[in-house]
Amino acid sequence: MPNYAYLRVSSDSQDTANQKHGILDYANRAGLANLQFVEDTASGAKKWHERRLGQLLSGMEAGDTIVFAEISRMARSTLQVLEILEHCMAHQLNVHIAKQNMQLDGSMQARIVATVLGLAGEIEREFIRMRTREALAARREKGIRLGRPKGPAAKLKLDAKRDQIEKYRTMGLSLRETARLIDTPPSTLADYVKRRGI
């Protein structure tokens, strides 16, 4: 029976190395060999069946195994975690959670544990959101501006290449040709030229 490991990150800038390490360590202890890794870049808030996880689970057969690094990698909400587990139990799929060192079967005890873990993760995320909102409110009360400063930026990214831009423009090169020579998108250059009046 195939063994799958599902790795999820929320953005391209994050990587799956820590999840992979934790899963491999767990798999060695649990005797799970030949893991097939499935990587996904999607927010946990996105419905599980709209992610690669949905495709993976729908293609698995009774007796197959799926390993998650931790409950939060399945989904952000308790409801979605329960939906995933319900799907797995209904299709007789083996579910392992590496960080919690757990194997979840269809038993009531396993469902209770998964519910508690999912709920704990959801509560933790809500506390983080509350603390962030409180910190932003405190900064506003102190008169600290949030977000980008208003008005035109004093320094622009292409200022370092201004001499080159002016030289190419004096030579009569088009914006597109100049953009290619300085390795920047034409739209960025057009905006720069407009803002600097070149």
Which amino acid would we find at residue 104? L
Q: Is the entire prediction scored with pTM above 0.75? A: no
Give the pLDDT score at 64: 93
> Which pLDDT value is given to residue 25?
94
> Can you tell me the distance from the alpha carbon of 67 to that of 4, in angstroms, rounded to the nearest whole number?
6
Q: Indicate the SS3 state at residue 195.
A: helix
For 8, the token pair is 């999820």
Does residue 5 come out as left (phi exceeding 0), alpha (psi in the -120 to 50 range) or beta? beta
Q: Closest Cα partner for 152 from 182, 184, 191?
A: 191
CA dihedral 104, 60, 92, 25 (to 10 degrees): -20
> Residue 4: helix, strand or coil by DSSP?
strand
**Nearest-angstrom CA–CA distance, 41 and 36:** 17
**Alpha-carbon gap, residue 93 to 7, rounded angstroms:** 17
In which band, very low, low, confident or very high, does the pLDDT at 125 lie, cut at 50, 70 and 90?
Answer: confident
- Kindly provide the b/e burial profile for residues 104-140, where b requires at least 16 CB atoms within 10 angstroms of the residue's own CB: beeeeebbebbeebbeebbeeeeeeeeeeeeeeeeee
- pLDDT, tens only, 59-103: 999 999 999 999 888 887 877 888 888 888 889 899 999 998 888
Q: What is the pLDDT of residues 32-49, one digit of tens each?
A: 999 999 999 887 678 898
Mean pLDDT of the chain: 86
pLDDT band at 156 (very low <50, low <70, confident <90, very high): confident
Percent of the chain predicted with pLDDT > 70: 92
Between 123 and 152, the higher pLDDT residue = 123
pLDDT at residue 27, as a whole number: 93
Compute the half-sphere exposure of residue 57: CA atoms within 13 Å on the CB side of its CA.
Answer: 24
